[in-house]
Amino acid sequence: MISKFTKVFLEPAEVAAIVGVSLPTAYRIIRTLNIELQQKGYVVQIGKINKKYFEERFGVTVDEISEQTNNKEGA
């Protein structure tokens, strides 16, 4: 049985688009959030941020933002 994988990590370009900041600022945000996760005992992937943790800290749902963006482009 093949299962469908969902994307677990966000990349800097995605963070920049969601938050509306430059790419260097997105990298700083990711670095800060990863430090928080490391302090909580989690293993992190440098240059990427866990999607659920990003959503929790920024109070957004990435999938909803993607849908809104796609709807605006299609209008």
Mean pLDDT taken over the chain: 88
| Number of domains forming the structure of the chain | 1
Residue 3 domain flag: no
Residue 37 domain flag: yes
Residue 44, classed as helix, strand or coil, is coil
pTM: 0.80
Model confidence at 63, pLDDT cuts 50, 70, 90, reads confident
With 90 as the cut, is the pLDDT of residue 27 above it?
yes
- Catalogue the long-range contacts made by 7-16 (C-beta closer than 8 Å, 24 or more residues apart): 7/51, 8/50, 8/51, 9/45, 9/48, 9/49, 9/50, 9/51, 10/48, 10/49, 10/50, 10/51, 10/54, 10/62, 11/47, 11/48, 12/47, 12/48, 14/62, 15/49, 15/54
Predicted confidence at residue 50, as pLDDT, reads: 96
DSSP state at residue 9:
E
% of the chain residues with pLDDT over 70: 80
Model confidence at 7, pLDDT cuts 50, 70, 90, reads confident
Host domain of residue 13: 9-74
Residue 48 domain flag: yes
